[in-house]
């Protein structure tokens, strides 16, 4: 009976041992020189529910690592390691979880040796002075921006106060102020060349015609004829006539009255005079300009004589 119990115990132990996964950490060398690289491989003979650790080292550095591979029902992950300090360093035990059960790998010792230098065969050189870093654009960009801004301001100042002013002076036309009568005749001839009423622009024609006559009266008699109404202008002319300060006839005043009234009808009542009437108004405008003048001022000495 005891013999059977012993066999059953050994069988259960063997099954339990067989079911325990194998976790292993291996390196291809235990001795390297500073800067040399070596390989670390962590393997687990199980593929389901396996969690590999994040490798944490002291004194050694990870150069590269591969993704976890599956090979013959095992998980394998490889690392490329190196060391830059001499000495002995441990790759600590790595905790691996398989089906929520933790397993530990063995710790591994790596010796990092310095490179022996034969000073008798190494050529000696004098100690070099500190070399300055080469200049880059960032070293000068602030000065470049300041220079460009200053040039832009200077350029704008030269253009605005020198070139532009000179250009305006060159382009600005020079006019000779004509006397009131000559200016009125010149503008009447210009109005004829526009052919306004011939192109059915009667309102524009009368507006410009009366503006020429009003402008002549304003300059010649020195009154605000352009701003005043027709009645106000006619009243001023009558006052000047009664005061005997202008040289004109009643016929000229009647022509002025007829012209201004006709222009008001065209502009405000949309009247459309005939061609003969328009031509007659044009002649009247020139007669008004020619025959409406202020009396010359007679000095006291001339009166005594």
**H or E stretch at 228:** none
pLDDT of residue 15: 46
Locate 170 and state its tokens. 């060159």
On whether the CB atoms of residues 188 and 212 are closer than 8 A, the answer is yes
pLDDT of residue 131: 72
Locate 115 and state its tokens. 């490179």
pLDDT tens over the chain, length 305 residues: 555 555 555 554 544 444 678 888 899 998 998 889 999 888 888 878 888 888 888 888 888 888 877 777 788 888 998 988 888 888 898 888 888 888 888 888 999 988 766 666 656 667 777 777 777 777 778 888 899 999 999 988 888 888 877 776 666 555 568 899 999 999 999 999 999 999 999 999 999 999 999 999 999 888 888 888 999 988 888 888 888 888 888 998 899 999 999 999 998 988 889 999 999 999 999 999 999 888 876 654 554 44
275-291 and 180-194 helices, crossing angle to 10°: 170
pLDDT of residue 116: 66
Locate 104 and state its tokens. 């530990």
On whether the CB atoms of residues 292 and 217 are closer than 8 A, the answer is yes
Backbone dihedral region for residue 87 (phi beyond 0: left; psi -120 to 50: alpha; all else: beta): left
Q: What's the N-to-C CA distance of the chain in angstroms?
A: 179
| Of residues 235, 215, 234, the one with CA closest to residue 225 | 215
pTM, two decimal places:
0.43
* DSSP structure class, residue 132: P
The CATH label, of 3.40.50.300, 2.60.40.10, 2.60.15.10, 3.40.1520.20, for the domain at 20-113 is 2.60.40.10
Locate 21 and state its tokens. 């996964």
């Amino acid at each position: 009976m005891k013999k059977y119990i012993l066999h059953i115990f050994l069988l259960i132990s063997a099954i339990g041992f067989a079911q325990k996964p194998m976790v292993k950490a291996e390196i291809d060398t235990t001795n390297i020189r500073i800067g040399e690289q070596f390989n670390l491989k962590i393997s687990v003979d199980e593929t389901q529910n396996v969690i590999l650790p994040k490798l944490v080292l002291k004194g050694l550095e990870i150069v590269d690592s591969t993704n976890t591979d599956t090979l013959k029902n095992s998980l394998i992950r490889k690392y490329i390691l190196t060391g830059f300090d001499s000495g002995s360093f441990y790759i600590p035990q790595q905790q691996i979880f398989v089906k929520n059960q933790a397993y530990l790998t063995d710790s591994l010792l790596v010796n990092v040796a310095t490179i022996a230098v034969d000073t008798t065969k190494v050529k000696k050189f004098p100690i070099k002075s500190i070399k300055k870093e080469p200049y880059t654009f960032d070293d000068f960009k602030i000065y470049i921006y300041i220079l460009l801004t200053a040039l832009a301001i200077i350029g704008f100042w030269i253009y605005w106060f020198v070139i532009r002013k000179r250009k305006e002076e060159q382009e600005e036309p020079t006019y000779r102020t004509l006397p009131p009568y000559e200016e009125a005749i010149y503008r009447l001839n210009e109005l004829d060349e526009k052919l306004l009423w011939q192109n059915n622009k009667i309102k524009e024609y009368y507006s410009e015609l009366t503006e020429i006559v009003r402008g002549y009266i304003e300059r010649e008699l020195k009154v605000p004829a352009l701003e005043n109404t027709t009645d106000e202008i006619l009243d001023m002319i009558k006052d000047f006539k009664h005061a005997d300060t202008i040289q004109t006839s009643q016929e000229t005043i009647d022509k002025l009255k007829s012209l201004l009234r006709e222009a008001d009808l065209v502009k405000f009542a949309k009247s459309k005079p005939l061609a003969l009437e328009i031509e007659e108004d044009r002649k009247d405008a020139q007669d008004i300009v020619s025959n409406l003048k202020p009396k010359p001022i007679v000095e006291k000495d001339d009166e005594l004589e």
